[in-house]
Structure 1
Amino acid sequence: MAAAVASDAKLEKLRPAVASLDQISENEKTGFINLVSRYLSGEADQIEWSKIQTPTDEVVVPYDTLAPAPEDLEATKKLLDKLVVLKLNGGLGTTMGCTGPKSVIEVRNGFTFLDLIVIQIESLNKKYGCNVPLLLMNSFNTHEDTQKIVEKYSNSNIEIHTFNQSQYPRIVVEDFSPLPSKGVAGKDGWYPPGHGDVFPALTNSGKLDAMLSKGKEYVFVANSDNLGAVVDLKILNHLINNQNEYCMEVTPKTLADVKGGTLISYEGRVQLLEIAQVPDEHVSEFKSIEKFKIFNTNNLWVNLKAIKRLVEADALKMEIIPNPKEVEGIKVLQLETAAGAAIRFFDNAIGSNVPRSRFLPVKATSDLLLVQSDLYTLVDGFVIRNPARTNPANPSVELGPEFKKVGNFLSRFKSIPSIVELDSLKVSGDVWFGAGIILKGKVTITAKAGKLEIPDGAVIENKVDKFQTSI
């Protein structure tokens, strides 16, 4: 009882402070207060471990059992004319040492993530005579830069729309007041509340109604840095034919993905299970790739009318992810949600167990090394895997802090080594790579003292600490 009274007092104090913030809309104020209210009420659907069931193939449909997409050009055009592509574009490239939106980092052959996305959709529109629009959901961090960047596509055969996800005030932990009210000016007082906000933001921006008025039925949502997240006709065809309101693409877990959210069947519905929801005594079981064999790629296909229905009914109450931070020495709290957690609110929702090739995120320069190497080629904006690579898994790559920033990474390679036959690479110290280097098997390179230069044309195979001396 006392806890409930304390929660009510916090909320009553917060309401007028939020109401006085003139930087955000009434919709954003309402959405924020609702999120905080849910958080303070302690509402959390506890998972009863014994009720968790492994989803059947009807719930998580194997990709290879999906019917082939129509081969007829006109039928394919009709299919694609029902589709909108939405890329989550709110992230900055700060972890890789870049300023501005992450989507404008150069990935391959001088093309950025955004360039490749535009080229892909343009080639679809040209090939089938369809009109698949591209929507970019920005955050207040990426909005201005993205607006300037999309101008260069003004002559493209593609309709590009941008809209902003919500902007919420960070909460001061000490007294539960909004951080901007404490005189913290600029962007530091605010945060974007996670990609679960895509559904209300799409609605509040007017973009949802605009797409519905053009006869669009489905939106394909994906992270802008996932190079494998391309339009898939088989999945779209399946959803339309089976009237599935929501589909999450999942793919088999490897040991690198053990913390990723997974799909379960729970009380008759399909549901996303995240590691944060798992009781401590079951965490090792959750991480096992024997019991929980798949994880969420965050490639999501969602029916637009269903989004409208659920947002208007305020029915999308996804699990809240508390994210503590510190700003100018002040402890603050961000409350966020994830789009994948919405699966349980949609009718006839499914997963699809897709090939690993549809999950190719670039989160760090070690990922950039993979996509810039001879493991891949570029065709019509699509990153295609080299068939000469017989191992279905990519090599594991660990680069030291000297390679963390994109600029430093690029300067340390005269050219990206050949890694088609590489199993693993670990580089530490002040290492510089010459041109035309070939890496095979398991390779560890350590510069123990000073600068180490790997000569042009070197072939390194199954070597540990091959070059230990300073050159």
Structure 2
Amino acid sequence: MADVKIAKLQTAIAAFDQISENEKSGFISLVSRHLSGEAEQIEWSKIQTPTDEVVVPYDTLASHPEDIEATKTLLNKLAVLKLNGGLGTTMGCTGPKSVIEVRNGFTFLDLIVIQIESLNKKYGCDVPLLLMNSFNTHDDTLKIVEKYANSNIKIHTFNQSQYPRLVVEDFMPLPSKGQSGKDGWYPPGHGDVFPSLMNSGKLDALLSQGKEYIFVANSDNLGAIVDLKILNHLIHNQNEYCMEVTPKTLADVKGGTLISYEGRVQLLEIAQVPDAHVSEFKSIEKFKIFNTNNLWVNLKAIKRLVEANALKMEIIPNPKEVDGVKVLQLETAAGAAIRFFDHAIGINVPRSRFLPVKATSDLLLVQSDLYTLVDGFVIRNKARTNLANPSIELGPEFKKVASFLGHFKSIPSIVELDSLKVSGDVWFGAGIVLKGNVSITAKSGVKLEIPDGAVLENKVINGPEDI
């Protein structure tokens, strides 16, 4: 039955001129694997906690050479790749998420460029920046990067694969049903970074320039900066792949974790966990670390494995609905590739290397006095004694960036804040200080204004009389 479906699919996609032969064969291979049901079940009893040799504690890494020439040699082996395929739709923005303003008028992309520029300037090296776009972000990104034309950094963009969405009912591609626009297609997750680097010609170009490692990270993770100690360690120990992990808090219980399994290091995602063990997976007692999606990968190893078609990462089925039609997207994640590389390791890094901005509550953190900006790096305020960031919950009125910004005359001081919960139509004046646990609720249909200069410490506010 699967063979019949595949044959029909092949015939249908042969007619598509929007995508390359590489994309067509990649797509067919993904669907064939999905239909064959090859998903390997994890045997729970075989899972082992990785040792410090497999997940190396960051503070045991040797310090990198202080010598400028030695550092330059080290950095010249590196390229940085940011995953730039996502749109800012969840935060109410159009265009690539990386152009949302994060702080002082700078966007994610501005900060990334400033960081690499300052490295290149300080050490006289040539670290290039690659942006992997999707068909959703490609055109906008090309226009945006023009503004960096005069910087001392080479910026390369390339597109990840574009695959047709599958109609669940008959397993035919949505574009062949007359859905000719963007809605007929999807980018197949960031696991696609490896074949796309190769297919775009960027991989061979980097190798010809003497590059050995690529540092891959989400463009919205402000903590994902080049780390010389990590790079030095990987080159010294010839690790082909390194995943940065960090200690789990209760906010990260769904994040993938590293395990030792049948002698190899492997990523375990919540979707692979048998139902009976989900609560165990979510506990921070047994699985203490999670994947930050900051990945360091050897370029020659990527080439070897892509050419051998060996990167068969777990498939993540992602059901969607387009104009009332149930469709399926098959995706893969870059972290799942760890088990195919030789001498792969995790490094248990400080939490500061994981500062993603997924929602306006995260934006509040990075725009506040909890952080300052130095050379494009977002640095945490030393005055904050608590290692964890405050937990912040904002109601739907704050979901979109524009309305979020409109509700604050200035971002409150939160250095001494533990938790903030805001619901309803709440407006913040200038110079407000929040400390301890603060909960503010505006009654339905009522506009609640917090006056300029208010200091709220361990307060529950349900109306103006409580301020």
TM-score normalized with structure 2 length: 0.99
SS at match of 2:320: strand
Question: In the superposition, relative to structure 1, how do residues 190 and 470 fare at CA in structure 2: closer, same or farther (>3 Å)?
Answer: farther
- Report the CA distance between 1:468 and its aligned residue: 5.6
1:122 aligns with 2:129: no
Render the CA deviation track for 1:54-91: whole Å, top value 9, x for unaligned: 00000000000000011000000000000000000000
Residue 272 (structure 1) aligns with? 267
Structure 2 counterpart of 1:410, from 405, 409, 414: 405
Cα distance in 1, alignment partners of residues 156 and 204 from structure 2: 13
Q: 1:7 Cα shift?
A: 1.3
Alignment of structure 1 residues 25-44 onto 2, 5 Å: 25-44=20-39
Match of 1:3 in 2: none
3-state SS of paired residue (2:260): strand
In 2: Cα distance, 1:79 partner to 1:57 partner: 25
* Equivalent in 66, 73, 77 of residue 61 of structure 2: 66
2:465 and 2:300 mapped to 1: Cα distance? 64
Q: Which residue matches 2:145?
A: 150
- The whole-number CA distance in structure 2 between the counterparts of 1:184 and 1:465 is 50
* Displacement after TM superposition at 1:465 (Å): 2.1
AA partner of residue 227 (structure 1): L
2:437 aligned with 1:442: yes
Alignment map for 1:81-230 (pairs within 5 Å): 81-230=76-225
One-letter code of the match for 2:463?
F
Provide the secondary structure at the position in 1 that maps to 2:115. Answer: helix
**Correspondent of 1:464 among 452, 460, 464:** 460
The separation in 1 between residues aligned to 2:466 and 2:157, in whole angstroms, is 51
CA deviation map 1:401-434 (0-9, x unaligned)? 0000000000100000000000000000000000
Gaps of 5+ in 1: 1-5
Q: What is the distance in 1 between the residues matched to 2:281 and 2:160?
A: 32
In the alignment, the residues of structure 1 paired with residue 160 and residue 361 of structure 2 have an alpha-carbon distance, to the nearest angstrom, of 29
- Indicate the percent of aligned positions where both proteins have the same amino acid: 87
Q: Deviation of residue 358 (structure 1)? A: 0.1
Q: Deviations over 1:226-280 (max 9, x none)?
A: 0000000000000000000000000000000000000000000000000000000
**How far 1:29 moved relative to its partner?**
0.2
| Runs of at least 5 residues in structure 2 that lack an aligned partner in the other structure | none
CA–CA separation in structure 2 for the residues paired with 1:400 and 1:97: 14
Q: 1:117 Cα shift?
A: 0.1
Secondary structure at the residue paired with 1:76?
helix
TM-superposition CA deviations, 1:28-57 (whole Å, max 9, x none)? 000000000000000011110000000000
Do structure 1's residue 381 and structure 2's residue 413 form an aligned pair? no
Instruction: Give, in angstroms, the shift of residue 8 of structure 1.
Output: 1.4
Distance in 1 separating the partners of 2:121 and 2:224: 19
- What CA deviation, in whole Å up to 9, does each residue of 1:297-341 have, x standing for no partner? 000000000000000000000000000000011100000000000
For residue 447 of structure 2, what is the aligned residue in structure 1?
A: 451
On the 8 A contact 2:438/2:457 being kept in 1, the answer is yes
Aligned to 2:342: 347
Deviation of 1:470 (Å):
11
Which residue pairs with 1:300 in the alignment? 295
Distance 1:278 1:64 in 2: 31
Match of 2:70 in 1: 75
What displacement does 1:18 show?
Answer: 0.9
TM superposition score normalised by structure 1: 0.98
1:412 maps to amino acid: H
The answer to whether the 8 A contact 1:55-1:263 is kept is yes
Does structure 1 residue 291 correspond to structure 2 residue 286?
A: yes
Match of 1:356 in 2: 351
The aligned length equals 466
How far 1:13 moved relative to its partner?
Answer: 1.1
* d(CA) in 2 for partners of 1:246, 1:201: 18
Aligned amino acid, residue 253 of structure 1: K
Q: Secondary structure of the residue that 2:145 maps to in structure 1?
A: helix
Deviation of 1:466 after TM superposition, in Å, equals 5.3
Aligned-pair CA distance for 1:467: 3.1
Instruction: Write the deviation string for residues 433-461 of structure 1: whole angstroms up to 9, x where unpaired.
Output: 00000000000001114101100000000
CA distance in 1, matches of 2:44, 2:168: 32
